[in-house]
Amino acid sequence: MDELHEECGVFGVYSQENRNVAHTVYYGLYALQHRGQESSGIAVAYANKIAYYKGMGLVAEVFAGGKLDCLPEGDVAIGHVRYSTTGASQLLNAQPVVFTGKCGKMAVAHNGNLTNTKQLRDELISQNAVFQTTIDSEVVAILINSLSDGDILTGVKRACAKLKGSYALAIMTCDKLIAVRDPYGIRPLCIGAADGDYIIASETCALDAVGANFLRDVKAGEIVVIDSDGLHSYMMDGVPEKSSMCIFEYVYFARHDSVLNGYSVYEARKEAGKLLARYYPVEADIVSGVPDSGNVAARGYSEESGVPFVEALARNRYVGRTFIQPDQNQRENSLSVKMNALRGNVRGKRVVLIDDSIVRGTTMKKIIKMLREAGAKEVHIRICSPIIKHPCHLGIDIQTYSQLIGAYKDEDGICESLGADSVRYLTVDQLLSTCSGAKTGFCLGCFNGHYPYPLDDYKADKLKLE
């Protein structure tokens, strides 16, 4: 594992009429594909039943060959794209989780990672619950059912009081669509509307993809129920005053055409590039981004410094984003298939290369080597985030310190390991200033070790799981 891994994307639609809602979800998931490429699924409510289809692979692959058209018309539907942070990458663990319980037919799709999964699962098993999968999303589904008195809202409220960790949920029954965001608002979730339909989505780019207007973000700690009476909002008890959204949504995970908490991801990334130029300038001939995630910041760096933006690396667009692939061996062998140096652009040049973050450092080391072999005279690395020093247990796949080059080395040590001419990172305050337009507080746990939920709880859970 050498790059940050995104967790998942969720999407849902409530339509005033019976129609082909599965198609709407399909296009929404397509726009959220960057959030997970291992599996995807769609569930549709029709005639008091729920039909669903799930498969391994990209949205387009899973629903090819007429699979999408096999789903019936309906008025409520949810969908999910997955990267596995808990549970193996296999079909059984694909979402939405669909089941029949006290509230009738239900489906649940989850983006995030619970930190008290083991404890909740043990409790539920002791109450005779049966689990089919190893994912925490099934724990959410069974918890809602076990705490419900036949009313879905009661079940969701009671379950949320017990959940710890990050969760942005899309839940459906045969006549309701429910959006839930954890009390810290760690993962994004927004609401849109189109032609009388309500849409919920992890990011606004998915609203755009289905022609929906953005209405608002789901608030941290909010449960939004959408049914034939319209949209109803309920707040959980004990929601902290300050939210803690994952700042990496701005740095890397979200698509750069999305707007989160009222602030454009593109603007945040461009500002990061400008700050890198302002605070960490270097004599150079060209500035370039590691495609695609470093490109916006590289343009910001160029604007601020006057150093021309020139592409140093070409990316094979038909290979998924490096970090999505779960198999380490594939990843080690495939960098040169995914990326290649543009020799004519870098030969004899002093290159500033911008990237969003460095995890283990092995990919960056190879990129620097690739640029030197292509004739680059100097390679200076500028990173749009602070050094990642701590694991993340809130939905990103960094679970141990040994996975992090920044856990043991400072900038000079990292520079030496990578074989760069210089390496500079934004500070925490500088990163926060790139997101100053966002109406939210931030989780900075992987930089400073302070998480909205205690790490000890997670460690204990992980030990028990092992």
Q: What are the residue numbers of the active site?
A: 8
Identified binder of ligand SF4 from the candidate list 40, 446, 458, 461, rule CB under 6 A: 446
Chain mean position to CA 8: 5
Contacts (CB under 6 A) with ligand SF4, residues 314-343? none
Number of neighbouring beta carbons within 10 Å of residue 411 = 16
Residue 284 CA to residue 273 CA, distance in Å, equals: 15
Is position 396 an interface residue for ligand SF4 (rule: CB under 6 A)?
yes
Of 94 and 398, CB closest to ligand SF4: 398
Is residue 443 at the binding interface for ligand SF4, with CB under 6 A as the rule? yes
Q: Please work out, in degrees rounded to the nearest 5, the angle formed at the alpha carbon of residue 389 by the alpha carbons of 399 and 311.
A: 100
Which one, 7 or 38, has the nearer CB to ligand SF4?
7
> Closer to ligand SF4 at the Cβ: 273 or 391?
391
Q: Are 204 and 265 in contact, with CB atoms under 8 Å apart?
A: no
CB-nearer residue toward ligand SF4: 152 or 163: 163
Which residue among 445, 453, 455, 461 contacts ligand SF4 (CB under 6 A)?
Answer: 445
Cis peptide bond upstream of 72, omega within 30 = no
Question: Among residues 392, 418, 435, 438, which is the contact residue for ligand SF4, using CB under 6 A?
Answer: 392
Min dist. Cβ of residue 390 to ligand SF4 (A): 7
Q: Does 247 bind ligand SF4 (CB under 6 A)?
A: yes
The yes or no reply on residue 248 touching ligand SF4 (CB under 6 A) is yes
CA-closest candidate to residue 321, choices 357, 292, 295, 299: 292
Residue number with CB closer to ligand SF4 (97 or 251): 251
- Which residue lies nearer to ligand SF4 by CB, 21 or 443? 443
Site string for ligand SF4, 130-169 (x = CB under 6 A): ----------------------------------------
Q: Minimum Å distance from CB 246 to ligand SF4?
A: 3
**185 touches ligand SF4 by CB under 6 A:** no
Shortest reach from residue 269's CB to ligand SF4, in Å: 16
Q: How far apart are CA 265 and CA 292, in angstroms?
A: 14
Which of 105, 93, 116 has the alpha carbon at shortest distance from 145? 105
Q: Is 186 in the site for ligand SF4 (CB under 6 A)?
A: yes
Number of residues that bind ligand SF4 (CB under 6 A): 11
Q: How far is the CB of 113 from ligand SF4 (least distance, A)?
A: 9
Tokens in use for 422?
A: 């210089």
Report in angstroms how near the CB of residue 222 gets to ligand SF4 at its nearest.
19
Q: At its nearest, how many Å lie between ligand SF4 and the CB of residue 30? A: 25
* Number of C-beta neighbours around residue 61 at 10 A: 13
- The 287-306 site mask, x for binding ligand SF4 (CB under 6 A), equals --------------------
For the record, the structure tokens of 175 come out as 């006549």
Is 251 among the residues that bind ligand SF4 (CB under 6 A)? no
Query: Around 427, how many Cα atoms within 13 Å sit in the side-chain half-sphere?
Result: 6
CB of 443 to ligand SF4, least distance (A): 3
Q: Which residues bind ligand SF4 (CB under 6 A)?
A: 186, 246-248, 392, 394, 396, 443-446
